[in-house]
Amino acid sequence: MALSDELAYADVTKIARGIRQRQFSPVEVVDAFIARIEVRNPSLNAFVYRGFDQARESARDAEKALVDGRPLGPLHGVPVAIKDLFDFKPGWITTFGGIRAMRNFKANFYCGFAERIEKAGAIILGKTNSPIMGFRGTCDNYLFGPTRNPFNMTKNTGGSSGGSAAAVADGLLPLAEGTDGGGSIRIPAARCNVYGYKASFGRVPALIRPNAFAADTPFIFEGPITRTVDDAALALDALSGYHPGDPYSLDETTDFASATRRSIQGWKIAYSPNLDVFPVDPRVAEVVGKAVRAFEQAGAHVEEVKVGIKRPQKQLSDLWCRLIMPLNLQTLESFRDAGVDVLKDHRDDLPPEYLFWVEQDFGARFLS
């Protein structure tokens, strides 16, 4: 069996352990996943930027670290991907979700996920597809097109971290970055049958560059997309903790891997099936209800509660769109400062629903 097939659905823990125990080298692992990406990605359209040459160089450095007996991070040699949105690695192209005018824009800084995942020893292979500015629940844009669901190629992967979810689901790599402000980790994870974890606010630092810190307009989260809970816990051990670039990041250490093993016997868990006002498909409600009963089987007491939300779902969704716009407007202004006036010269690069919210009262004045 080719190594690319053997490792395709291996979890992060197995790959990291195999590298440490010299069952396979970081070079072999990276080459194996690159080979699978080259075969599978043309049909999926999950990867939109390939940093393969740099990844192979990093793999050779990782191999030398093993031979030299240097200290190794918990993810040493594990292939990962970052997302093509507000997610950066120095020298790599970033299109902010497929904006055609930004097809050659290169960042000179790191996002928090890339910075910390590399510090833990992981090797970033490339960037995954996302909708323009992350502003929709499907993964599609004018530059790269849609990402297809590996379980049904006629279906989308959900957004905005749809490229990451598809890549992990199809075994292109075991771990990828997700970001989430309104469902962007959770939606594609659910559609692609993978595990996406949006940690509590402050647990994983959010560095929304190039505008410095702006992750509270509204709350923005970074987190792992994996195939197992254990892999997500391992990633969180590497990603969490205080960062000077995020004043809200928590200055504490948590052992997430151990936390997944603790008992919930006697816990009291409040459960809202619809947050009072949100429409939920009966089929989804049934699946979630069965999952909730697993808590009871594990010894917890689950009580269905009313949250107290009075506003209709549509009104809350519109409010979210207004809240997310300051971050978007600042980003568009930074494009203009860099010489690319997207709103003036490249309006056709932006979807009409996105332009609608940009042009609402404060938006037009902000960019005048």
User: What does pLDDT average to over the chain?
Assistant: 93
DSSP letter for each residue of 288-348: HHHHHHHHHHTT-EEEE------S-HHHHHHHHHHHHHHHHHHHHHHHHHTT--HHHH-GG
234 assigned to some structural domain? yes
pLDDT tens by residue, 248-265: 899 998 899 899 999 999
The catalytic residues are 83, 160, 184
pLDDT tens by residue, 160-211: 999 999 999 999 999 999 999 999 999 999 999 999 999 998 999 988 765 5
Number of domains in the chain: 1
305 assigned to some structural domain? no
326 assigned to some structural domain? no
% of the chain at pLDDT higher than 90: 85
pLDDT of 217 over the 70 cut? no
Tell me the C-alpha distance between 37 and 200, whole Å: 32
Query: Could you tell me the CATH number of the domain that includes residue 68?
Result: 3.90.1300.10
318 assigned to some structural domain? no
How many C-beta neighbours within 10 Å does residue 38 have?
Answer: 14
pLDDT of 152 over the 60 cut? yes
pLDDT of 297 over the 90 cut? yes
Give the model's pLDDT for residue 326.
83
Structure confidence at residue 10 as a pLDDT band (50, 70, 90): very high
Give the model's pLDDT for residue 360.
83
pLDDT of 219 over the 90 cut? no
Give the model's pLDDT for residue 351.
97
Give the model's pLDDT for residue 210.
58
Structure confidence at residue 359 as a pLDDT band (50, 70, 90): confident
pLDDT of 117 over the 80 cut? yes
Give the model's pLDDT for residue 366.
56
Structure confidence at residue 330 as a pLDDT band (50, 70, 90): confident
DSSP letter for each residue of 170-227: TTS-SEEEEEESSSTTHHHHHHHT-EE--PPTTTS----TTSSS-TBTTB-EEEEEES
314 assigned to some structural domain? no
Structure confidence at residue 41 as a pLDDT band (50, 70, 90): very high
Tell me the C-alpha distance between 256 and 233, whole Å: 5
pLDDT tens by residue, 51-75: 999 999 999 999 999 999 999 999 9
170 assigned to some structural domain? yes
* Cα–Cα nearest to 234, from 214, 259, 213: 259
Tell me the C-alpha distance between 325 and 356, whole Å: 11
**Tokens 């006002």, residue located:** 277
Instruction: Give the CA distances from residue 127 to residues 163, 164, 178, in Å, rounded to whole numbers and listed in that order.
Output: 8, 8, 11
pLDDT of 368 over the 60 cut? no
Which amino acid, 249?
S
Tell me the C-alpha distance between 337 and 136, whole Å: 26
364 assigned to some structural domain? no
Structure confidence at residue 1 as a pLDDT band (50, 70, 90): confident
Q: Which domain range does residue 188 map to?
A: 3-258
Tell me the C-alpha distance between 132 and 150, whole Å: 22
Tell me the C-alpha distance between 129 and 344, whole Å: 25
Tell me the C-alpha distance between 188 and 175, whole Å: 14
88 assigned to some structural domain? yes
Tell me what the mean pLDDT of segment 139-145 comes to.
98
Give the model's pLDDT for residue 315.
95
